[in-house]
Homo-oligomer: A and B are copies of this chain.
Amino acid sequence: MLLAAPLTDPDIRMPMFSAAEYDHRLASVREKMDRQGLSALIVTDPANIFYLTGYDAWSFYTPQMLYVPARGEMLMFLRDMDAQGAFRTSWLPEEQILGYPEQYVHQPHIHPFDWVATALRRRGLVAPAAKGCVGLEMDSHFFAPKAYRALVNAIPEWTLVDSFELVNWVRVVKSDAEIQYMRTAARVTTASMHAAIEAVEPGTAQNRVASRIAAAQAEGDGEIWGDFPAIVPMLPTGRSADTPHLTWSDRVLREGDAMVVELAGVHRRYHVPLARTVMLGAPPSDLLLLEEAVAVGLQAVLDVTAAGVPVREMSRVWNLTLARYGLEKPSRLGYSIGIGYPPDWGERTVSIRPDEESMLSENMTLHLICGMWMTGYGYEVSESIRVTGTGVETFTSFPRQLVRK
């Protein structure tokens, strides 16, 4: 199919990274596989599949997997109609992309992975992988228990074990090329936050603010095109700002309302999230206290952040500052970011909290989300950062204060 297409086909995307970078990613994954005793790894998280193959499509609502053996070629299994177009975004050779037949979709008695298991067996790949354990992404959003049970039943030779976010942990430290994509995404973030702040006015409905943000997120910034975000704009407003994940309605903004805006700018699946709180009218004293505490706390966190520092140190400094203001935040202060697919732009690896065991490394990228969800009101300010050898780079540059309108 690749050969039949004209050389100038505008609908084949250039690989985002060099062959050397993709090789390095796979080598890093295999190194971890070796340490965890895995003879093969089954990757189902669309962000991990994208990371290893470049494959990018809204096809993850039906089962798909990337089979990564310790040695030999990777194989990607998709629904037939998706396999047909995968060469347009993935660098994988056509013969490594296999489509399962349509009749396996949404059936009570059969599962696409029944077909996949047979395909692996026919290719002689079951026996070699039976010599070690086979890793599964047991906590991946698009790997259902039915898919898991299909593998358990179809390949009894395999000892199936949790890979414990193996690929996600490889993703934690970004390459320079990835950092460049995130800096580019940050331009979309900035444009989208400006659009949001401009739209927040008394008399405007939440859904209109969402509309302006969504438009800016896809439009991007000049020659930088915007990709879809893994999470829709979150707009906690008024009394409902005490909880973070309610979505919008036609609730009209009024003088005296505070509205949180949490959004991400995205470029080619790389996310840079950002939150600010917009105040219509005079801020109440409770909010002013949060504004000061969060600004001081966030600065204190940024001051201690650098490669070689334990992640929990960020949490300790943050909690210490909050305590001085008589405040506390039960939820984590942030998490690792990068590639994102719905429903989450977090990587499900590093969490900034007191019991975190990981250390900061250069080119880790984190979203520090200072979300204070009180009772009947709330406040959010965030920064997306890159950890450097000596400190941090912030991807955007909005003042860390309440936006007064």
Task: Please report A residues at the B interface, Cβ cutoff 8 Å.
Answer: 1, 4-5, 9-11, 13, 56-61, 80-82, 84-86, 88-89, 101-103, 105-106, 108, 136, 138-149, 162, 164-165, 205, 207-208, 210-212, 214-220, 223, 225-228, 231-232, 234, 237-240, 242-252, 268, 330-332, 335, 342-344, 346, 348-349, 351, 353, 355, 373, 375-376
Asked if residues B331 and A106 are in contact (CB atoms below 8 Å), the reply is no
Task: Give chain A's interface secondary structure class.
Answer: loop
Additional A-B contacts beyond A59-B245, A106-B348 (17; CB < 8 A): A11-B240, A57-B243, A58-B246, A61-B141, A61-B346, A80-B330, A106-B139, A106-B351, A108-B164, A108-B165, A141-B144, A143-B144, A146-B162, A223-B250, A225-B250, A227-B247, A227-B249
Contacts of A346 in B (CB 8 A): 61, 106
Copies of this chain, whole number: 2
Asked if residues B82 and A243 are in contact (CB atoms below 8 Å), the reply is yes
Asked if residues B245 and A1 are in contact (CB atoms below 8 Å), the reply is no
Asked if residues A207 and B232 are in contact (CB atoms below 8 Å), the reply is no
Contacts of A136 in B (CB 8 A): 145
- With A and B bound together, what is the CA distance between A351 and B104 in angstroms? 12
Using CB atoms, name the residue of chain B closest to A251. Answer: B10
Using CB atoms, name the residue of chain B closest to A63. Answer: B139
Determine how close the nearest CB of chain B comes to the CB of A172; give it in whole angstroms.
Answer: 13
Using CB atoms, name the residue of chain B closest to A244. Answer: B81
Do A57 and B238 form a contact, CB below 8 Å, given A139-B146, A144-B140? no
Using CB atoms, name the residue of chain B closest to A211. Answer: B218
- With A and B bound together, what is the CA distance between A19 and B123 in angstroms? 56
Asked if residues A81 and B331 are in contact (CB atoms below 8 Å), the reply is yes
Determine how close the nearest CB of chain B comes to the CB of A327; give it in whole angstroms.
Answer: 15
Determine how close the nearest CB of chain B comes to the CB of A259; give it in whole angstroms.
Answer: 11
Asked if residues A141 and B138 are in contact (CB atoms below 8 Å), the reply is no
Do A207 and B214 form a contact, CB below 8 Å, given A85-B240, A246-B88? no
Determine how close the nearest CB of chain B comes to the CB of A5; give it in whole angstroms.
Answer: 6
Do A144 and B138 form a contact, CB below 8 Å, given A57-B246, A344-B61? yes
Do A231 and B58 form a contact, CB below 8 Å, given A88-B240, A215-B211? yes
Contacts of A148 in B (CB 8 A): 145, 148
Asked if residues B249 and A225 are in contact (CB atoms below 8 Å), the reply is yes
Determine how close the nearest CB of chain B comes to the CB of A38; give it in whole angstroms.
Answer: 16
- With A and B bound together, what is the CA distance between A102 and B353 in angstroms? 10
- With A and B bound together, what is the CA distance between A375 and B102 in angstroms? 17
